C-alpha cells in the first residue's frame, strides 16, 4: 500500500493538497489531507475526505453509451469508443456542412479546475469554427467589478490576514466554501481581531462572528456607501493614500455625503443606523482592516455595483499597504500562465459568435443560426444553469445532437444522445492553480482510469483525428500542454518550473506573504484605484459606486411574488458535483427552504412540510425549514440538488432567471422573487442511491 500525492480539482478557492492510499490492485482505499501543503495543511472537507464514494459511485459512467429512450429519460445502451467517436465526429461534420460551425456550442465550466482538462476543448472548437462559450456563470461579474476599480482582480494574500485587527467576511459562507482560508481569519480572531460577517442570512460562518450584519439581498452597495459616509464625515480617512493612490475622491465625496447618509443606507439595506455607524467607525479606526469578499453579492442584477462599492472601501483607509490589512476577492491572477498556448485562439480562422452560458435556455430555443450540436464537458447545465424549464425544453429538442462527456450520470447526461466516460483528477495528470491562495501544484494519476474512462484532452485529440484535423497540437499530451502553459517570463513565476512541480509538492508563486498587491500602482487607465471610472461612464453606467435597485430586488416585490429567494452553496455539495454522493445526500438530508417564522405562519406553513415555491419562471417543491436564521421577506435554499433527487423532479434553477449582472454579464442566482404556499401531499422523502 502506498500513499500518493494529488490535488482536489473542484471549483473551490482552497485547491487542497491530498494524499491517497492505493491498494495492490490500484484501488483508492483511503484519502486524507496532505500535511505538507502549506495552505491546506492536512485538512480536507467532508466531501473530499470520502472521495472514494465519488470515484466508485453507482452513478459513475464506465463506458460510452448511446441513448435508447426519450430525451430526458436517461436510458442508454453500451457502445464501443470507436462507435461513439465515429458518431460524434460524423454528426459534428454533418452539422458544420449543413448549418455552419457556429451551430455547434461547446458547454463547459469548472468541473475540474486543472488548467489542461478545464480548457482542453478550446483548441478543437476554435479549429472547427464552433460558437464560443462566454463563461459568465460564476466569477465574471466579480472580475469586471474589480477590473473597473483596481484594474485587475488580483488581491491580498489570505495568509496575511492573521495580523489584521478587523476582518470582514462579506458575502461568503467560508465554513462551506473556503474552510482553509477561514482558518487564517479565525487565527486573526484568536489573536484579538474582531470578525464581522455581512450576509443575508445567519450562516454557520455568521454564527462564529463577533458581529453579524444582516443585509437585504442585493443592497450591499448602499451599506458600503453608508460606511463611506461615516468615514468621510468623521474624517477617518487616509488622506495620503487617497491623494497618491486613488482617482476621483473629489467626486465621490459630495456623491456620498448627499445621497448615502446612514439613515438612507439603513432604509435600503434594512441594517440599523447604529450598526452602519459602528461598522464605518470600526473600519476607519482599525489598524489593519481586511475584507474577505465572496461572490454572494455579485450574483445579482446590480452585483457589479455592489462589488465595486465594497472594493472602494480599502482605498479610503489605505488598507492595502497596512501589514495585516487588505482586501481579498481572488488570488487567481497571481499565477501567470500562458493560457493562449493552451486554448490556441489562433486556430480560429475568424472570430466566431460568443454565446453567454447563463442564457443557455434562450440560446437553445432562439439562437440564429440555431444551435444544432452541443458538446458538454466539465459541467452539468441541466442542473446549474438558470431558468431550468427553458434549458430542459432546449435540451429535449429532437433536432439537437447532444454529446456529454461526464464522470457521472447527471441531469445533463439524461438528455444526451451519446455519453462518454470521463476520468477524474485521480486518473489524469494536470496542473492546478487557486483562486484562494498563492500555490501551484501538479498531480500525476494515482490510479488507472475507472472503467473505460478517458481524459478530456485525450478525447478531443481523438475526435480531432477522426475529423481529419492534422495540426500537431492535436497530438499534445498533458505534459506538453503544461509545459506550454508554464512558458512565461514573469517575476511571479520565477522558480515555478515543470521540473520543480514534478516533485509533486505545492509551490508558491514568487511573492512574500505580506505585500501590497498594488505597490506598483493599479493597472487602471488612471494608474490608481478608481472611485470614479471614465470607462463606466462611457458605457452609460454610474461612474461612481451607486446603489441601483435590482430587476427582481425587494423594491419589485408584489402580492404574488413577495419573497426574495437566495440560493447559495451548501456545505456537503459542490455546485452539483456531489449530487450523487450518498453521504453528501444524507448529510444534506432533503432540499429545504429556510423561511422566517412570521412568513411561515402567515401562510400556514409548518416545519418539515413540503411547500410550493414559484417564480415567474416556474414552480418547485421544497421542505420548509422554519427558522429565524433568515429575515422576514427573505427565503434561502442551499443548493444545487440534482433535479432527479428533488421531490417533483424539478431543480432550484427552475426559479432563477436569465437576467444578467450589470457588469460582466454574469448569473444572478441570488436574485429571484418568489411566492411560497403550503403543499398538501405527503412529505415523505428518500434519496435515489443509484
For ligand MGD, the binding residues (CB under 6 A) are: 11-12, 109-112, 117, 137-138, 170-173, 176-177, 198-201, 203, 215, 217-218, 220, 294-297, 299-300, 377-380, 384, 405-408, 410, 422, 456, 566-571, 573-577, 639-640, 652-653, 656, 667, 669-670
20 vs 640, beta carbon nearer ligand MGD: 640
In angstroms, the CA 39 to CA 35 distance is: 9
Q: Are 436 and 159 in contact (CB under 8 A)?
A: no
Residue nearest to Mo ion (CB): 138
Residue 293 binding partner per list ligand MGD, Mo ion, none, with a CB distance cut-off of 5 to 8 Å that depends on partner kind: none
566 binds, among Mo ion, ligand MGD, none (CB under 5 to 8 A by kind): ligand MGD
Instruction: Return the one option of Mo ion, ligand MGD, none that residue 213 interacts with (CB less than 5 to 8 A, by type).
Output: none
- Return the bridge partners of 504, or none: none
Partner from Mo ion, ligand MGD, none contacting 289, C-beta within 5 to 8 A by type: none
Name the E strands within 298-352.
326-328
Name beta bridge partners: 625: 594
Least distance to ligand MGD, CB of residue 474, Å: 18
Query: Which among ligand MGD, Mo ion, none contacts residue 111 (Cβ within 5 to 8 A by kind)?
Result: ligand MGD
Q: What gap in Å lies between CA 289 and CA 285, rounded to an integer?
A: 9
Q: How far is the CB of 535 from ligand MGD (least distance, A)?
A: 24
Query: Which one of Mo ion, ligand MGD, none interacts with residue 171, CB within 5 to 8 A by kind?
Result: ligand MGD
Q: How many whole angstroms separate alpha carbon 259 and alpha carbon 271?
A: 17
Residue 374: name its binding partner from Mo ion, ligand MGD, none (Cβ under 5 to 8 Å by kind).
none
Report strand pairing: 104-108 vs 373-377. parallel
Question: CB under 8 Å to 136, separation ≥6 — which residues?
Answer: 356, 357, 358, 660, 664, 665, 666, 667
As given in the structure block, the three cell numbers for residue 437 are 491562495
In the complex with Mo ion, the residue whose CB is nearer, 303 or 315, is: 303
**Cβ proximity to Mo ion, 138 vs 311, nearer residue:** 138
Minimal distance, residue 423 CB to ligand MGD, in Å: 6
Looking at the Cβ atoms of 442 and 496, the one nearer to ligand MGD is 442
Least CB distance to ligand MGD at residue 198 (A): 4
Provide, rounded to whole angstroms, the least separation between the CB of residue 425 and Mo ion: 17
Q: What is the DSSP letter of 12?
A: S
Shortest distance (Å) from residue 345 CB to ligand MGD: 22
Q: Is 502 helix (H, G, I), strand (E, B) or coil?
A: helix
User: By Cβ distance, which residue is nearest to ligand MGD?
Assistant: 296
Query: With CB cut-offs between 5 and 8 Å by kind, which of ligand MGD, Mo ion, none does residue 576 bind?
Result: ligand MGD
Q: How far apart are CA 343 and CA 456, in angstroms?
A: 13
Q: How many residues does the chain have?
A: 690
CA 385, CA 654: separation in Å to the nearest integer?
A: 9
Q: Which residue, 131 or 581, is less far from ligand MGD as judged by CB?
A: 581
Of 246 and 576, nearer to ligand MGD (C-beta) is 576
The CA distance from 510 to 491, in Å, is: 7
DSSP string, 77-120: EE--HHHHHHHHHHHHHHHHHHH-GGGEEEEE--SS--HHHHST
Residue 138 vs 493, nearer CB to Mo ion: 138
Q: Which is nearer to Mo ion, 177 or 615 (CB)?
A: 177
Q: Give the residues across from 676 on adjacent strands.
A: 613
Nearer to ligand MGD, 247 or 572 (CB): 572
CA dihedral 196, 202, 208, 210 (to 10 degrees): 40
* Minimum distance from residue 30 beta carbon to ligand MGD (Å): 22
The least CB distance from residue 81 to ligand MGD, in Å, is 14
Q: How far, in Å, CA of 641 to CA of 544, rounded?
A: 39
Q: Which does 533 bind (CB under 5 to 8 A by kind): ligand MGD, Mo ion, none?
A: none
Out of Mo ion, ligand MGD, none, what residue 441 binds, judged by CB under 5 to 8 A for its kind, is none
Q: Rule CB under 5 A: which residues touch Mo ion?
A: 138
Toward Mo ion, which CB reaches closer, 22 or 138? 138
User: At its nearest, how many Å lie between Mo ion and the CB of residue 109?
Assistant: 8
Cα dist. 419→62, 307, 415 in Å? 10, 39, 9
| Residue ranges of E strands in 255-351 | 289-293, 326-328
Name which of 421 and 651 has its Cβ closer to Mo ion: 651
Helix axes 81-99, 456-466, angle to 10 degrees: 60
Question: What's the start-to-end Cα distance of the chain, in Å?
Answer: 29
**Which listed option, Mo ion, ligand MGD, none, makes contact with residue 218 (CB within 5 to 8 Å by class)?**
ligand MGD
Amino acid at each position: 500500500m502506498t500513499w500518493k500525492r494529488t490535488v482536489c480539482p473542484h471549483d473551490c478557492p482552497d485547491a487542497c493538497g491530498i494524499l491517497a492510499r492505493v491498494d495492490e490492485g490500484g484501488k483508492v482505499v483511503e484519502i486524507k489531507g496532505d500535511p505538507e501543503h502549506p495552505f491546506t495543511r492536512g485538512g480536507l472537507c467532508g466531501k473530499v475526505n470520502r472521495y472514494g464514494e465519488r470515484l466508485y459511485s453507482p452513478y459513475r459512467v464506465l463506458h460510452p453509451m448511446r441513448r435508447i429512450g426519450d430525451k430526458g429519460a436517461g436510458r442508454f445502451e453500451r457502445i464501443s469508443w470507436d462507435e461513439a467517436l465515429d458518431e460524434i465526429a460524423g454528426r459534428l461534420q454533418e452539422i458544420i456542412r449543413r448549418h455552419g460551425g457556429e451551430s455547434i456550442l461547446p458547454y463547459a465550466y469548472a468541473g475540474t479546475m486543472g488548467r489542461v482538462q478545464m480548457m482542453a476543448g478550446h483548441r478543437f472548437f476554435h479549429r472547427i469554427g464552433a460558437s464560443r462559450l462566454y463563461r459568465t456563470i460564476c466569477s465574471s461579474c466579480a472580475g469586471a467589478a474589480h477590473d473597473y476599480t483596481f484594474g485587475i482582480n488580483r488581491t491580498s494574500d489570505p495568509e496575511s490576514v492573521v495580523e489584521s485587527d478587523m476582518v470582514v467576511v462579506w458575502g461568503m459562507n467560508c465554513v462551506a466554501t473556503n474552510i482553509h482560508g477561514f482558518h487564517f481569519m479565525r487565527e486573526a480572531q484568536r489573536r484579538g481581531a474582531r470578525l464581522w460577517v455581512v450576509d443575508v442570512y445567519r450562516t454557520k460562518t455568521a454564527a462564529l462572528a463577533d458581529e453579524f450584519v444582516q443585509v437585504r439581498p442585493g443592497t450591499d452597495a448602499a451599506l458600503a456607501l453608508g460606511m463611506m459616509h461615516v468615514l468621510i464625515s468623521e474624517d477617518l480617512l487616509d488622506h495620503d493614500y487617497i491623494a497618491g493612490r486613488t482617482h476621483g475622491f473629489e467626486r465621490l465625496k459630495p456623491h456620498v455625503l448627499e445621497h448615502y447618509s446612514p439613515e438612507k443606507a439603513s432604509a435600503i439595506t434594512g441594517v440599523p443606523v447604529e450598526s452602519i455607524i459602528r461598522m464605518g467607525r470600526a473600519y476607519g479606526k482599525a489598524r489593519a482592516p481586511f475584507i474577505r469578499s465572496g461572490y454572494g453579492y455579485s450574483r445579482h442584477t446590480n452585483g457589479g455595483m455592489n462589488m465595486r462599492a465594497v472594493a472602494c472601501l480599502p482605498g479610503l483607509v489605505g488598507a492595502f499597504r497596512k501589514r495585516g490589512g487588505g482586501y481579498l476577492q481572488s488570488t487567481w491572477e497571481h499565477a501567470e500562465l500562458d493560457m493562449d498556448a493552451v486554448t490556441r485562439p489562433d486556430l480560429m480562422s475568424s472570430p466566431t459568435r460568443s454565446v453567454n452560458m447563463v442564457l443557455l435556455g434562450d440560446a437553445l430555443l432562439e439562437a440564429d443560426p440555431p444551435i444544432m450540436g452541443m458538446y458538454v464537458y466539465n459541467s452539468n447545465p441541466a442542473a446549474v444553469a438558470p431558468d431550468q424549464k427553458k434549458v430542459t425544453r432546449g435540451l429535449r429538442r429532437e433536432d439537437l445532437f447532444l454529446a456529454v462527456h461526464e464522470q457521472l450520470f447527471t441531469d445533463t447526461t439524461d438528455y444526451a444522445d451519446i455519453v462518454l466516460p470521463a476520468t477524474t483528477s485521480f486518473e489524469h495528470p494536470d496542473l492546478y492553480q487557486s483562486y484562494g491562495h498563492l500555490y501551484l501544484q501538479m498531480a500525476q494519476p494515482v490510479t488507472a482510469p475507472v472503467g473505460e474512462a478517458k481524459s478530456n484532452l485525450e478525447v478531443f485529440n481523438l475526435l480531432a483525428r477522426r475529423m481529419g484535423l492534422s495540426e500537431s497540437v492535436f497530438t499534445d499530451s498533458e505534459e506538453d500542454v503544461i509545459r506550454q502553459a508554464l512558458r512565461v517570463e514573469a517575476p511571479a513565476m520565477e522558480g515555478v518550473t515543470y521540473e520543480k512541480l514534478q516533485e509533486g509538492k505545492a509551490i508558491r508563486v514568487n511573492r512574500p506573504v505580506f505585500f501590497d498587491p498594488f505597490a506598483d500602482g493599479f493597472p487602471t487607465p488612471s494608474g490608481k484605484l478608481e472611485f470614479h471610472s471614465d470607462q463606466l461612464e462611457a458605457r452609460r453606467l454610474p461612474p461612481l459606486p451607486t446603489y441601483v435597485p435590482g430587476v427582481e430586488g425587494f423594491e419589485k416585490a408584489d402580492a404574488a411574488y413577495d419573497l426574495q429567494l437566495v440560493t447559495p452553496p451548501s456545505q456537503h455539495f459542490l455546485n452539483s458535483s456531489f449530487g450523487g454522493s450518498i453521504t453528501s445526500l444524507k448529510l444534506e438530508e432533503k432540499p429545504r427552504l429556510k423561511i422566517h417564522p412570521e412568513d411561515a405562519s402567515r401562510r400556514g406553513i409548518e416545519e418539515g412540510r413540503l411547500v410550493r415555491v414559484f417564480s415567474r419562471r416556474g414552480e418547485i417543491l421544497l421542505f420548509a425549514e422554519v427558522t429565524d436564521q433568515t429575515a422576514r421577506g427573505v427565503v434561502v435554499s442551499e443548493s444545487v440538488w440534482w433535479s432527479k433527487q428533488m421531490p417533483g423532479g424539478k431543480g432550484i434553477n427552475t426559479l432563477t432567471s436569465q437576467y444578467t449582472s450589470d457588469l460582466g454579464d454574469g448569473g444572478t442566482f441570488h436574485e429571484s422573487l418568489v411566492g411560497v404556499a403550503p403543499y398538501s401531499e405527503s412529505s415523505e422523502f428518500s434519496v435515489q442511491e443509484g
